Amino acid sequence: MPVSAVDQPKPRFSVTLLALPLCTAAAVWGIVSPKTLTAACDQLIDTTFEAAGSVVMWAVTAFVVLLVGLAVSRVGRLRLGNADDRPEFSTLSWLAMLFAAGMGVGLLFWGVAEPISHFANPPAGAAFSAESMRRAMVLTSFHWGLHAWAVYAVAALVLAYFGFRRGQPALPSAPLRATFKGRWVKPVAGFADLLAIVAVAFGVAGSLAMGVLQLHGGLAASTAIPAKSTLVPILILAALTIAYLLSAATSLDKGIKWLSNINMALAVILLVLVFAFGPTLELLGGFFRSLGDYVSALPLLQTETLGYTADRWVQKWTLTYFVWWIAWAPFVGIFIARISRGRTIRQFVAGVLLVPTVFSVLWFAVLGGTGVHEQLHGGGQLAAMVAKDVTAALFALFDTLPLSGLLSALALTLVFVFLVTSADSATYVLGMLSSRGALDPSRKIKIAWGIGIAVLAAALALSHSIDVVRAITITGALPFTVVLILQVLAMLAAMVRDPELRRSRYAEEQCPSSDSSYSSSSPARSS
């Protein structure tokens, strides 16, 4: 990294002073009039989806193809860093950190609710049928699998490549400045950094609000805490804020690393308990069936979805999810890039794209499969409860299983720790964005952004509406889609000119039978 990016992390007041008023204005609007904020955001979202929904779908699908192509090609052997660089974190800690940052509370929030929703209200066919059950699992895997992680992987790979191989700062604008020429580059690059900050702030605040609502719903379901209360969400958010600010005051290899490892341990324990208490053999078969159905249906599913981007169901579910992942791309991308130095591109793609996808399919097969089983063979009330309040879906399922109190307590703890990890990671990334890409932003900047996120999350949580959360999160992400596409084009252009790849091609041309190795060469350090 350049000296100015690491040793002298001066704040970027021009970008920060533009981003903070935008976030503050959204927070005030959400507190004063959440309904008008939702209506305005929904109008913008509907208009954009109708005009450019296909662009978003094609872009995300192209990201999946691109990553697979890079991994299996000679590019996959390139190391994200110098030839002698090795990973800073163990593979297990690395996977735990990227998974906690990338999904976190969303898996708990939708683990039961989404499969049940598709089972009860499928986009086509009869509800509560064997066909709709398998289709529900496929659609859920489609939303949370390869396409979701491809967005994160592309955003992270671009920044890791330019940062660790080309000596550029960890900023969304860096690939554009380093690759493209012309008068348009400077304003577009500055706008990219601004959009990244807004997308991160809105996206993480939305997830915090969603988690607060779920914690409130879980506490109301398992204790005497009232379900309709303004004070309880505020107290929950205050506790979360104190926790993630304390973690933000520590270094990356302490706070976030240990929280992420705790997250994964708790998530695995919860998964194993539900698997053991539920219809175990049915769930085991359901996982392999879901994985097979997902892989076999993927090409057709992509084609069908691309052809119906104007359909309201596709807009409500698939497009919303894909744009939600783009909302998190600046945050998760920068964070994953930061922790991935020393890995080859092939290792990077396998870890970021494949491992989390398989775990997500397993997660929904167990939690969603148990929910579907309860709907069919239990009281048949779970779907109605999900339709009424998605925040209570997970805890409603736990009430039907043994040791429901233990499961609820474990889930509440996991939601809390996931939220702390996500918010801590977000303050870290926002600190980087506000400090010219510094890999270790100052504690003051991280704490300032942590307070800002808490204020925005409070505005969204007080609305008591998932629609408000969805609207504000997607609104912050929509413009960043264009930035992400430009970043990918910049990376591909830089890879074509990569000196190491050129040397490899030259060696193969001179001696076609030899197996060119990258171990003895060092990456370019020029911009």
Please check the confidence at residue 449 and state whether its pLDDT lies above 80.
yes
Mean pLDDT to the nearest integer, 124-142: 92
Concatenate the DSSP letters of all residues of 168-236 into one string.
--S-TTHHHHHH--STTHHHHHHHHHHHHHHHHHHHHHHHHHHHHHHHHHHHHHHSS--SS-SHHHHHH
Do 110 and 425 form a contact (C-beta atoms < 8 A)?
Answer: no
The per-residue pLDDT for range 394-424, each reduced to its tens digit, is: 999 999 999 999 999 999 999 898 888 878 8
- Mean pLDDT in residue range 372-393: 87
pLDDT value of residue 202: 81
Domains defined for the chain, CATH in brackets? 3-500 (1.20.1740)
Check residue 200 and give its pLDDT.
Answer: 82
- pLDDT-derived band at 271 (thresholds 50, 70, 90) equals very high
Type and span of the H or E element at 394:
helix 393-398
pLDDT, mean of residues 325-352: 89
pLDDT band at 175 (very low <50, low <70, confident <90, very high): very high
Q: How many CB atoms lie within 10 A of CB 129?
A: 12
Mind spelling out the 3-state secondary structure of 12-77?
A: CHHHHHHHHHHHHHHHHHHHHCHHHHHHHHHHHHHHHHHHHHHHHHHHHHHHHHHHHHHHHCHHHH
pLDDT at site 306: 66
What is residue 519's predicted lDDT score, i.e. its pLDDT?
41
Whole-angstrom Cα distance, residue 394 to residue 216?
13
As a whole number, mean pLDDT of residues 491-508 equals: 78
Task: State yes or no: pLDDT of 239 exceeds 50.
Answer: yes
The per-residue pLDDT for 466 is 67
Whether the CB-CB separation of 324 and 72 falls below 8 Å is answered with: no
Query: Where residue 517 falls among pLDDT bands split at 50, 70, 90?
Result: very low
The per-residue pLDDT of the chain, averaged, comes to: 83
pLDDT average, residue stretch 301-308: 74
Lowest mean pLDDT among 28-37, 69-78, 259-268: 28-37
Tell me the C-alpha to C-alpha distance, in Å, between residue 332 and each of 151, 199, 209. Answer: 10, 11, 18
Regarding predicted confidence, which is higher, 303 or 374?
374
Q: Tokens 């303004």 map to which residue?
A: 230
Reported confidence tier of residue 84, pLDDT bands at 50, 70, 90? confident
Residue 304: which residues within 8 A CB-CB, separation 6 or more? none
pLDDT classification of 526: cutoffs 50, 70, 90: very low
Query: Residue 464: pLDDT band by 50, 70, 90 thresholds?
Result: low
Report which of residues 231 and 100 the model is more confident about: 231
Residue 523 has a pLDDT of 43
Q: State the pLDDT confidence band at 255, using cuts at 50, 70 and 90.
A: low
What pLDDT is recorded for position 279? 96
- pLDDT for res 442: 80
Amino acid 151: pLDDT: 95
pLDDT of residue 465: 66
Per-residue pLDDT, 73: 92
